[in-house]
Chains A and B, each alone.
Chain A
Amino acid sequence: MMIQTRELSYTYPGGRVIRFPDLACQAGETLLITGPSGAGKTTLLHMLAGLIPPANGSVEIAGTNIGRLNTRNMDAFRGRHIGIVFQRSHFIGSLSVGDNLMMPLRLTGATANKFQLLEVAQSLGIDHLLHQLPARLSQGEQQRASIARAVLPAPNVILADEPTASLDDRNCEAVARLLSEQAARHKAALLIVTHDNRLTSLFPQHIQLT
């Protein structure tokens, strides 16, 4: 298993406790996690990414229990092994799209390969936009750029938080297809957290949060 959780639970500052079902995902596979607003989808994603610690339980990614890592090592581990795609794509506004895509590689000290960048950008159809500033891109283009950024360091796990919520039907399907394609190509486990029903028909593996 590329990613696996056991008896995860989280306590909100108010004292409310949410227990999450155990989940697991193989390399190259896609797991859809759905649920209504307030079901703890984003909380789960943040725990999977090691951004917040769980109250109980463990998250194991590529054989590493990430609960055992300190802040510094967690940051580095995240950069190397976890790619994240957000609902609204965020970029460093002052850097070009190309530089933004290379950021995770450069930040973790990996050798940044221009050919790799071009190849991924080509497969997502954004190779002509690499010199632009992110603000110049359309929503769909921005989402494709953040997919490129997530897959470029060849992570073990890709976490997508509502990747299609702000897209129209045509772009929604294209982005969902590209995401799973790229995940499969890079042999990464893909977890999509969403309340978007358009996606349930596209992905067979499906966990519902209540």
Chain B
Amino acid sequence: MIFRIAIRNLLHKPLYTVLCWLLLACSTTVLLVLWALNRQARQQLEKQIDGVDLVLGAKGSPLQLILSSVYHLDNPTGNISLAEAAPFMDNPMVESAVPISLGDSYHGFRIIGTTQAYLDKYQLKPAIGKVFGNSMEVVAGAEAARKAGLKLGSTFAGTHGLGKTGHVHEDQQYTVTGILPSTGLAIDQLLLTPLESVWDIHATHEAPHIHEEGEDHDHEAEEKPAVPDRQVTAVLLKFRSPMGQLTFPRMINENTNMQAAVPAIEINRLQALLGTGAKVLRALGWLLAGLAACSIFVTLVQGTHERRYELALIRTMGGSRGKLLSLVFAEAFLLGVLGVITGIVLSRVTLLLLQQELFAGYHLNFSGAMPLTAADGITAAAIVGACMLAALLPAVRAFRLNIAKTLANA
């Protein structure tokens, strides 16, 4: 009976009810979306650096080096000499070393010169076709292939630089030999090719290289002159022992022209930088929730004042003071639950819409953000709790209503 009256009372004042409901739904949505993005961003960022203990690259910003070589987001810091990196790659403490070479792109998708080891790192095999073998062969990531319309056997010319426009290497055509399965990682957006492809293309474009004596390369079969100092953009290292993690960065940063960046450290730094923005947004979400609670408070205070005769009437018809108390709480509770449920639905719809955008722009996959977690539950409960708190004063007022006086002044 009390619940029924509460529902009818809410429906009887649709404007106030809708206002409270919208405020609640919006605050819940903002908070839940932020939770989900935060959680998923961290998970995704951490998943990508799985198996990369150290990145070796040119001097510059370590964060930039990590972003460009692991997440494929920023521009590279520069190139390093493969010969200089070789001693570190061959060190017994190193379990695996994956060289990558950036520079070209196709339709905005980066062409990464690398070795088979890159695929091994992700334990990936092409879903169709086979792994690249020779120069100018390409294995395409799932998204890149789909969006750029690449199929097995397609040929295309790379664009110099990472933008959508630039010099096109018309004379050298890549051939797609395989397409990778979808992983939800940055690799989906990449076009992988042997290091030699990158060297071959740029050998003809760049200024004549200085030939050095004593350099030996096994590319004599190729027509182009052997490049004496082969360059790569970065090397992704994975250590066999934690000793490497401790000794390598110092060794490299102090004794060589290169820099060593630890992805885990850089990502923590990045999150600390972005954390402030997330904090502000979250504060905004709680502010909205506070506003919602205030609107419920005002609505209920006004409602219990306007309806004080009705409340007194309920007492004269046998309803106890406890019933009046629960009537006011029931209205707040119904609004709270309705608002929170709407907010949860809205937050999931928002995530669904954001997902596509974020994956294309930042290579972040948010399909795992959908399930509700304990933190979401606590947030929802906190909002409903705030509604109940807002109802406390009006409820106590209803409880302590002087019925004789109220009726006498009718």
Contacts and interface: CB of A to CB of B under 8 A. Distances in A.
A75 B410 CA distance: 20
A78 B312 CA distance: 13
Contacts of A99: 4, 8
B307 A75 contact: no
A95 to B, nearest CB: 5
A84 B410 CA distance: 14
Q: How large is the interface on B (under 10, 10 to 19, 20 to 34, 35 or more residues)?
A: 20 to 34
A93 B12 contact: yes
A32 interface: no
B199 to A, nearest CB: 79
B280 interface: no
Interface string B311-331: 011111111111100000000
Interface string A127-151: 0000000000000000000000100
B32 to A, nearest CB: 32
B403 interface: yes
A159 to B, nearest CB: 10
Most chain A Cβ neighbours within 10 Å, of B8, B9, B318, B404? B318
A79 B8 contact: no
Most chain B Cβ neighbours within 10 Å, of A71, A78, A86, A107? A107
Contact of B410 (A86, A104, A106, A153): A86
A103 B327 CA distance: 14
Contacts of B359: none
B8 A95 contact: yes
Nearest to B314: A107
B243 interface: no
Contacts of B321: 71-72, 75
A107 B404 contact: no
Contact of B309 (A51, A90, A108): A90
Contacts of A153: 318
A91 to B, nearest CB: 7
A46 B408 CA distance: 9
B317 A79 contact: yes
B407 interface: yes
A92 B407 contact: no
Interface in A82-110: 84, 86-88, 90-95, 99, 103-104, 106-108
B273 interface: no
A153 B317 CA distance: 10
B11 interface: yes
Interface string B294-320: 000000000000010110111111111
Nearest to A73: B320
B5 interface: yes
B353 interface: no
A106 B323 CA distance: 12
A30 to B, nearest CB: 21
A72 B320 contact: yes
Contact of A94 (B5, B318, B404, B407): B5
A52 B316 contact: no
Nearest to A72: B320
A104 to B, nearest CB: 4
A56 to B, nearest CB: 17
B246 interface: no
A75 B315 contact: yes
A137 to B, nearest CB: 16
B12 A94 contact: yes
B310 A107 contact: no
Interface in A154-206: none
A76 interface: yes
Interface in A64-84: 71-72, 75-76, 78-80, 84
Most chain A Cβ neighbours within 10 Å, of B8, B321, B323? B8
Given A88-B410, A91-B313, A107-B1, A75 B404 contact: no
A151 B317 CA distance: 11
Interface of B: 1, 4-5, 8-9, 11-12, 307, 309-310, 312-323, 403-404, 407-408, 410
Given A103-B1, A149-B317, 17 more contacts: A72-B322, A75-B320, A75-B321, A78-B315, A79-B317, A79-B319, A86-B410, A88-B410, A90-B309, A92-B8, A92-B313, A93-B307, A93-B310, A95-B4, A103-B317, A107-B1, A107-B314
21 contacts: A46-B407, A49-B316, A51-B403, A51-B407, A71-B321, A72-B321, A75-B320, A78-B315, A80-B318, A90-B309, A90-B410, A91-B313, A92-B5, A92-B313, A95-B4, A95-B8, A104-B318, A107-B317, A107-B318, A108-B318, A149-B317
Closest 5 CB pairs of A and B: A79-B318, A94-B12, A94-B8, A104-B317, A51-B404
